[in-house]
Structure 1
Amino acid sequence: MKRTSKRFRLLLAVHKYLGLATGIIVLLVSLTGAAWVFKEEIEPLYEPEFVFEPAAEAELLSASRARELGQAVFPEHAIHGTLFEGTTAPVEVIFYQVEPRFYQSVFLHPTTGEILHTKDHLSGFFAWALLGHMYLWLPMDVGSMIVKYGILVFLFIIVSGLLIWLPGRVKRLRKNLSFRWKPTTGWRRKNFDLHSIVGVYIYVFAFLFAFTGSVIGLPWFYYATYKVLGGSGDPSFVIPENVSAGRTAAADDAAIPYDRLVPRLMREEPDARSFELHYPYSETSSVYVEIERGEGTFYRNDYRYFDQYTLEEIPSPGVYAKYADADFAKFVMRLNYDVHIGAIGGIPGKVIAFLASLVIASLPVTGFVMWYGRRKKGKKRPPAAVRPTTYAEEEPIKRDKLAKEEYRV
């Protein structure tokens, strides 16, 4: 595509005006994304820390007892699940509901059940940053749509930017990927280089963050990506139903079956970091446990489902089941969030994600400056008419030029 063609000019115009329309969205989402990256590393520095000496005879608090104690603190709200990390760390009862919006945790002593601490996940700096990242601090319904489709448009802007940069550049690739500034280089040229050259260097990260963000935010985009990857079946989070007929007479007199589940899984998975048990939401639904394996990442987590009465394990056809059973499409979908925040590369990956997000935030700024600078330049006053010189004024000038030419010879 030649730079003088109509298609190129059209692409340039679309890139420019879509960039102007979504620039503030990209700027705010990138900055708040950078702020979120190190949440897991920073929060423990200022939150209360509880570490308990393991007691030989003390038993871990049961799931049903933890539910009872947590519900007593927030009786009007729904429990999302309970997180167990053994007898040396608190048991966390997690409350979450969308309407009315509520997201808090109650921390209990792992053996006695004493209430240690409550945490509001919707307050503090990181909660504020996440609200900006997902909703731009607007009402949820409005902000969510603006961010989701604003980032989807940004995907097109990224691709169009590369197509605009490519013509005539491949042959002079090294030259066009370096800053060749001189003391006389104007600010407009420097700003143009910061937008185009930096944009090329950051292209892969910008595309990855925008793409993985669209997978998280747009269900239809998530489904389409899964199908393109060759996935089959239902890619959503599927909680299977019980396989047994229901509660038996013997079960009515016995202890709650899922109280035995976490201790059993701890024996089976001694290297796991934590076990988050999710209570059955009805008499026919299964109980499931999320087993966290990798510190700081989520893609290797296991999601195991059990009949709430017999504890028979039930396979799930969804993406979120046993990690070992994931095919290629499910594996890639599991990687999505860890790629989005850079956790897939550990601390170095998060550093790259943090710096890349800051650089991406600069692109709408330099793009706006380019547009504003050209707009302002186009409105300059025409130069004043130059008075023609007379013969008497022009003759000495000609003689002076002739003398210089003779001197050179």
Structure 2
Amino acid sequence: MWKPIRKFLNDIHLYAGLTCGLIVIVVCLSGTIYVYNTEIRETADSERYFVETAGERKSLDNLKTQVEEELNGEVISVNVFQSENRTIQFGVKIPEAEKPSTYFINPYSGEILANNIEKTGTEEFMGYMFSLHRWLLLDKIEKPILESKTNMELGRFINGVATLLFLLGVVTGLFIWFPQKVKNWRQGLKVKWSGNWKRINHDLHNTLAFYSLGALFIMAATGPFWSYQWYKEGWQKTFDIYQAPQTNLNPVASNSEKQAEEAPLELVNFSLDQVLVKSNARLNYEGNLRITLPNMPGGDISISKSRTGFFAKAGADQLTLNPMTLEVKEAKLFSDLPLRQQIGRSYKSLHMGDIFGQFTKFIWFVACLIATSLPITGTLIWWNKRKKKKSDRRRQVRTAQAEMA
């Protein structure tokens, strides 16, 4: 019974792999690089992110005033990092600009070191890696390939199909990995380096895939989240984080809300330094903090803080502060969520590998590198078997001709 099932699964594994092989190589190779996107950017463009600690740091309020005066804009957000040698990032809305820009500020001198408008070579390269990983670079083509879809949508669709086929290959590969004879199960855990190149290639495919199976499954299972709306909604409903689109069916309520928004309220002045103190007192752990200022009169201050460290658990904590009193109006702690919702909200961290900081990031890097090699080693296995079958058929024909003679 197991033999025909195994052959069926092997055929699915084979044809799924052959169909998506080239795309998987491209997506996984770019993903391998993009795992360390932040580290690559910070190393190559270190002058943007790091400064020498010299003297006393300026207050956030002074830096905010200095930045707004120099740029003639409005600060809408502030990123404060745990390390003393890191720049502070201010999100600034300039009147003539379409969208806010990020400025990197030296906290000791107040000097504007750089902004995200002017792209460096590293940022350009990583942008291409992201485009290759997400849309297969089709978004870079100006002329539409299909009338029914934009190039970005087409790239997203093809990527999603390849990812689902890869997921199918991962699942079927697990069953195929188990040997037909139970006593030979250890063979799938090591590479026989003394064998010929065909045996080594076969063992590399089986063994490396087995050891990276967990990470590969998570990467493949979360990948289609960005390709298909039905998959995204299915994920959200499965992990109880789905929120239906809101439609306002009450025009009276809508008019009253509009009148309330038009009421003559004034923005409240508050101290960013006090916000920082209050936030760190409430979220008392090492981490990076983002302050989002009210975008309208009567609005609240939004705080987001994420942990740092080698085993730092992903999942930011959220605070809402009253701008008048700086009291915490609402605290949404990631650890307070049910495990099901924690998993659901961690789809990006699960896909990129930083679910437990640098520890899992390295595991994902290695697994993604292995995933890049699997279509190559798998295709070689198929090709070698194909050649062997042809050779066996020729041998049988010669034998039959010899017997007839």
Give TM-score scaled by structure 1 length. Answer: 0.70
2:351 is aligned with 1:340: yes
Shift of 1:156: 1.4
Give deviations 1:338-373, integer Å, cap 9, x for gaps. 443443454443333222221121111112222333
SS in 2 for 1:43: helix
Per mean C-alpha deviation after superposition, the further-off stretch among 254-263 and 144-153 is: 254-263
- What residue in structure 2 maps to residue 123 of structure 1? 123
- What residue in structure 2 maps to residue 55 of structure 1? 56
> What are the within-5 Å matches in structure 2 for residues 13-24 of structure 1?
13-24=11-22
2:288 is aligned with 1:290: no
Conserved 8 A contact 1:258-1:308? no
Conserved 8 A contact 2:16-2:169? yes
- What residue in structure 1 maps to residue 142 of structure 2? none
2:32 is aligned with 1:38: no
- What residue in structure 2 maps to residue 197 of structure 1? 207
Give deviations 1:8-34, integer Å, cap 9, x for gaps. 433322221111111122212222222
Equivalent-residue separation in structure 2 for 1:346 and 1:11 (angstroms): 36
Which protein has the larger Cα radius of gyration, Structure 1 or Structure 2? 1
Conserved 8 A contact 2:293-2:302? yes
- What residue in structure 1 maps to residue 374 of structure 2? 363
Give deviations 1:103-154, integer Å, cap 9, x for gaps. 9631134477542222438824333322222222221322222223321221
Shift of 1:260: 5.7
> What are the within-5 Å matches in structure 2 for residues 180-195 of structure 1?
180=192, 182=194, 185=196, 187-195=197-205
- What residue in structure 2 maps to residue 10 of structure 1? 8
Give deviations 1:307-356, integer Å, cap 9, x for gaps. 5677564548xxxx322422212222354444434434544433332222
1:354 to 361, 365, 369: 365
Q: CA 1:322–1:182 in structure 2 vs 1: closer, same or farther (change >3 Å)?
A: closer
Q: CA 1:196–1:255 in structure 2 vs 1: closer, same or farther (change >3 Å)?
A: closer
Shift of 1:164: 2.6
Q: CA 1:177–1:85 in structure 2 vs 1: closer, same or farther (change >3 Å)?
A: closer
Identical-pair percentage: 24
Equivalent-residue separation in structure 1 for 2:244 and 2:336 (angstroms): 14
Q: CA 1:114–1:35 in structure 2 vs 1: closer, same or farther (change >3 Å)?
A: same
SS in 2 for 1:174: helix
| 1:133 alignment partner AA | H
SS in 2 for 1:370: helix
SS in 2 for 1:343: coil
Equivalent-residue separation in structure 2 for 1:115 and 1:198 (angstroms): 47
Equivalent-residue separation in structure 2 for 1:232 and 1:43 (angstroms): 32
> What are the within-5 Å matches in structure 2 for residues 235-250 of structure 1?
none
Equivalent-residue separation in structure 1 for 2:98 and 2:385 (angstroms): 46
- What residue in structure 1 maps to residue 314 of structure 2? 299
1:29 to 27, 30, 36: 27
Shift of 1:35: 1.4
Per mean C-alpha deviation after superposition, the further-off stretch among 214-223 and 323-332 is: 214-223
Give deviations 1:78-121, integer Å, cap 9, x for gaps. x884313488743313479xxx9989631134477542222438
Give deviations 1:180-208, integer Å, cap 9, x for gaps. 4655x4x4443333323332232222112
| 2:56 alignment partner AA | A
SS in 1 for 2:60: coil
Q: CA 1:91–1:351 in structure 2 vs 1: closer, same or farther (change >3 Å)?
A: closer
Shift of 1:252: 2.9
1:154 to 166, 176, 191: 166
Q: CA 1:44–1:283 in structure 2 vs 1: closer, same or farther (change >3 Å)?
A: same
| 1:10 alignment partner AA | F
Equivalent-residue separation in structure 2 for 1:106 and 1:216 (angstroms): 29
Gap runs ≥5 in structure 2 = 140-151, 246-256
Conserved 8 A contact 2:77-2:290? yes
Conserved 8 A contact 1:226-1:329? no
Equivalent-residue separation in structure 2 for 1:68 and 1:227 (angstroms): 43
Q: CA 1:253–1:28 in structure 2 vs 1: closer, same or farther (change >3 Å)?
A: closer
| 1:149 alignment partner AA | V
2:287 to 240, 256, 273: 273
Give deviations 1:355-405, integer Å, cap 9, x for gaps. 22211211111122223334455556946858869xxxxxxxxxxxxxxxx
Q: CA 1:180–1:259 in structure 2 vs 1: closer, same or farther (change >3 Å)?
A: closer
- How many residues are aligned here? 365
SS in 2 for 1:123: helix
- What residue in structure 1 maps to residue 340 of structure 2? 329
Equivalent-residue separation in structure 2 for 1:271 and 1:141 (angstroms): 41
Equivalent-residue separation in structure 2 for 1:81 and 1:66 (angstroms): 15
Conserved 8 A contact 1:258-1:311? no
- What residue in structure 2 maps to residue 134 of structure 1? 134
Give TM-score scaled by structure 2 length. Answer: 0.71
Q: CA 1:146–1:88 in structure 2 vs 1: closer, same or farther (change >3 Å)?
A: same
Q: CA 1:252–1:195 in structure 2 vs 1: closer, same or farther (change >3 Å)?
A: closer
Conserved 8 A contact 1:195-1:363? yes
Shift of 1:302: 1.1
